[in-house]
Amino acid sequence: MDHLHVERLVMAIWVLCVYTIPLVTTANAAYSALFAFGDSILDTGNNNVLVSITKCNHPPYGRDFNGGTPTGRFSNGKVPSDLIAGALKIKDTLPAYNNPNFDPQELPTGEVVSIADQLKMFKEYIGKLTGSVGQQKASEIISNSLVILSAGNNDIAITFSQGRRPMLFSAYSNLLIDWTSSFLKELYALGVRHVWAFSTLTLGCLPGGRASVGGVLCNEAVNEFAVEFNGMLEKYITSIKTTTPDYDVQYVDVYNPLRDIISSSPGFTNTINGCCGGEAVAAGELCTLLTSQCENSSTYVFWDFAHPTQRAYEIIVSDIIQKHAQQ
């Protein structure tokens, strides 16, 4: 791991979400398991036990989750990792790998680990899985599984845009692509054969992005960085098809679906502010019980300064499943 990986851990929450399903139910699922590597939009609570000041295991987070319990998800309810697992008939919600109350019986149905040790933990998981179901079955599960990867959001919105990497953006994007390339190669070596690599979100239109330029208009400079990086990511992923034909890596656009939601506002009454924080949302400031909240989060695109609501995620994930899920 180079210093880029350490920087990612300091700057944001990165997680590995591991899903598998009981073997007796795999007949109804397109994939045998789901493994999700990414940032806070995928975290289901692993960050709760990490050394980090950025935590959301407190109200009002999880306000609309099962039982209204704050679990460490950076939203009012479910996050994309939950929704994709559910849509693929793998699992309804995801328990955190580092949860001290994690039940070993959950091993066949899912877990989560942090970016700093994610490959190490992934290997550990494979070892546990092998011990549980045997080498042959474990290899089948990994090769028939799906990995979802979310990269670049915090690197662009925080590290680069806030001047923490004083360099040309093209050079910085190349660094991120190099990291992604190395990471995908390591996954391939571990037996992974199916990956959905997510673009960044529409970063300049997040409430925090808007706040950086006055609070109403999108920060189009940040959006331009995101578009440039996304284009490079898509081009690189396309090249994988020619160099490694048995590696099914798909580029998943989440930038434009979110931008379309913001533009067309289907069923939303507010596409600018966070349901939690309202007009006072400031970049990097998480919600507390003292923070103002809207009555109905499903009418807001965003939950806080940087994270969409469950309703917005549901629309985005529906688009993803329609375009990328195996039929």
pLDDT in tens, 279-311: 656 556 789 898 999 999 999 999 999 999 999
Q: Identify the band that residue 269 occupies on the pLDDT scale cut at 50, 70 and 90.
A: very high
Q: Residue ranges of the domains in the chain?
A: 3-203+218-255
Q: What are the residues whose beta carbons fall under 8 Å from the beta carbon of 125, sequence distance 6 or more? A: 18, 97, 111, 113
- What does pLDDT average to over the chain? 81
Write down the pLDDT at residue 236. 97
At 152 the pLDDT is 86
Query: Tens of pLDDT along 246-263?
Result: 999 999 999 999 999 999
Catalytic residue among 64, 155, 253, 304: 304
CB-based contact 85:34 (threshold 8 Å): yes
What angle in degrees, to the nearest 10, is found between the helix axes of 255-264 and 310-324?
A: 130
**Phi and psi at residue 114, in whole multiples of 5°?**
-90, 165
User: Tell me, what DSSP letter sits at residue 25?
Assistant: G
Q: How confident is the model at residue 157 (pLDDT cuts 50, 70, 90)?
A: confident
| pLDDT higher at 9 or 67 | 67
pLDDT bucket at 1, cuts 50 / 70 / 90: very low
Catalytic pick among 40, 75, 145, 297: 40
SS3 for 4? helix
pLDDT at residue 313, as a whole number: 98
Question: Which of 36-50, 122-136, 143-157, 287-301 shows the lowest per-residue confidence on average (mean pLDDT)?
Answer: 36-50
Q: How confident is the model at residue 42 (pLDDT cuts 50, 70, 90)?
A: confident
Please state the pTM of the whole predicted model.
0.86
Whether 40 is catalytic? yes
Residue 10's pLDDT is: 25
Q: If you average pLDDT over residues 102-127, what whole number do you get?
A: 61
Q: Give the pLDDT band of residue 5 (cuts 50, 70, 90).
A: very low
Q: Is 304 a catalytic residue?
A: yes
Distance of CA 160 to the CA centre of its chain: 19
Give percent of the chain with pLDDT exceeding 90.
49
Q: Is 292 a catalytic residue?
A: no
